[in-house]
Amino acid sequence: MKNGFVFVDRRRGNDRRQIADPCKEMSLDLYHRKRRKSRDRRDASKTLTDDYYAYMQKVMDKIHSEQKKAHAQNRVLSA
């Protein structure tokens, strides 16, 4: 399966890039201290697109499982 481009907009509210960065002149980025320290945050053999589709599959599987559970519960209640 050939995957196309995927855009994931994770921003909330105002665009983060427009917020003033008080540490832009510093060599150490204290302002964004929660940023990942490691470059190998995910499997290097997978692309961001692969990660996105894997995540979406996980979400869909969870929704499907919850629907099955609710359907089974409704069957028990109506019997």
CA 79/CA 31 separation, integer angstroms: 59
Asked if the structure places residue 57 within a domain, the reply is: yes
Express the helix, strand and coil content of the chain in percent, nearest 5 each: 45, 0, 55
Asked if the structure places residue 63 within a domain, the reply is: yes
Asked if the structure places residue 10 within a domain, the reply is: no
Those residues with Cβ within 8 angstroms of residue 47's Cβ, 6 or more apart along the chain or in another chain: none
| pLDDT tens-digit readout, 9-31 | 666 666 556 666 666 676 665 55
Asked if the structure places residue 74 within a domain, the reply is: yes
Q: Which of 20, 21, 19 is nearest to 32 (CA)?
A: 21
pLDDT at 33: 53
Asked if the structure places residue 77 within a domain, the reply is: yes
Residue located via tokens 């929704």:
63
Q: Domain containing 54: what range? A: 43-79
In total, how many domains does the chain have? Answer: 1
| pLDDT tens-digit readout, 23-60 | 667 666 555 555 555 555 667 788 878 888 888 999 99
pLDDT at 67: 93
Query: Structure pTM?
Result: 0.45
CA 31/CA 44 separation, integer angstroms: 27
